[in-house]
Amino acid sequence: MVAATPYDALIGAAKSLVDTQMLAACDTPPASAVRAYISANSAHLAAARAALAAVCRVPLRYDSSFFGEHCEALSPLRNLAQSFALEFQQAAADGDYSAAARIGVDLLDLANAIRRGGLVIDLLVSIAVGSIAINLLRGVRRHLGASDRQALIRQLTRTEHDQEPVPLIIARDRHWESAVGYQEEKVDLTRQPLLDPAECGLTEDQQRELLERMQSFSTMPHDARRSIYTNQDRYTIALLRMLAVDLTLRSWRAEKGAYPDGLGPLAATFVEGVPDDPFTQKPFCYRRLLDGFVLYSPGPTNIDHGGAFGPWPMVQAGAADLCLDSGDYGLGSHRN
């Protein structure tokens, strides 16, 4: 009998979660229901953490049946990510920001476990889970004490160091497709029936536009897709690094009474110096304010708007800069 891998143990823990129907609810569950859910699943969440500590890796199999079987396992992992997120939110609501930060790191470790050794589908799920983690962590960064900030900075650096690079995953995906003779099913999405606008919140024209974009992506050559995957991954890396720099700036002010004039003095905090912007390979844009600071990236177009921020789609289009709080900006917003 073949011993179960840490990844198998992680999947087993995720599949063991109970009452997961609550995770699919559109409305935010009441605090009492969240506490009951976390309590009922405490042993399964502990088992998932033990599996993550053992360093998980997707047990890739080179046969055509692997893809369908593997994709079925991704749904429980999404449930696990949502469960960690509920734990995080409950800890933050209780004012236990130390615990919240540790749970956020668990989510980042889960994101790495999902992509390590896997295919592009795993990469995409990993990016989504990583984005959840960063969004939660950046929301509590102002509440962390000095020791928690330092611990989180170290964990963020470790998380990126442990992250499997996108080019390696894409190359493995191409090799797997070639080895098993896998042919991606082509579906004409533009022929899909439209939904009731009242139910989906999109007009018929908006639905058609979305379907056309999805269809265009599904027929893109591999090189074009690779660019999209790479930029999406750089987006999460940029936020990860900005969070680490943001926390370091807050520690600097707490110790010295004011923010530094530039990012250079922060180098001693990091093993390899202050991390650069993954889009420009240069330092992040930084400006000290009277009682604060501005930290941002011009994004994939390298068009610097001087700190005029917007959501990721606007950044991708070269119409806004990317900041740690870009998730708070809606389409059409464009402000400093």
- Rounded CA-CA distance 241/238 in Å is 5
Rounded to an integer, the average pLDDT of 127-155 is: 95
pLDDT at 27 over 60: yes
User: What pLDDT does residue 187 have?
Assistant: 46
Question: What is the residue extent of each domain of the chain?
Answer: 6-171, 267-336
311 and 326 in contact (C-beta within 8 Å)? yes
SS (H, E, C) 266-288: HHHHCCCCCCCECCCCECCEEEE
Please report the pLDDT score of residue 200 as a whole number.
Answer: 47
Residue type, 155: Q
pLDDT at 239: 97
Q: Name the band, by pLDDT with cuts 50, 70 and 90, for residue 189.
A: very low
- Span of 223-237, 287-301, 322-336 with lowest mean pLDDT: 322-336
Helix, strand, coil shares of the chain, percent, nearest 5, are 60, 5, 30
Span 288-311, mean pLDDT? 94
Q: Are 238 and 297 in contact (CB under 8 A)?
A: yes
Task: Report yes or no on whether pTM surpasses 0.75.
Answer: yes
| Sequence-distant (≥ 6) Cβ neighbours of residue 198 within 8 angstroms | none
Angle at 178 between CA 172 and CA 184, to 5 degrees: 95
How large a percentage of the chain has pLDDT more than 90? 70
Rg (CA), the chain: 21
Angle (deg, nearest 10), helices 42-53 and 6-15: 160
What pLDDT was estimated at residue 192? 52
Output the pLDDT for position 287. 96
| Tokens found for residue 237 | 């890396």
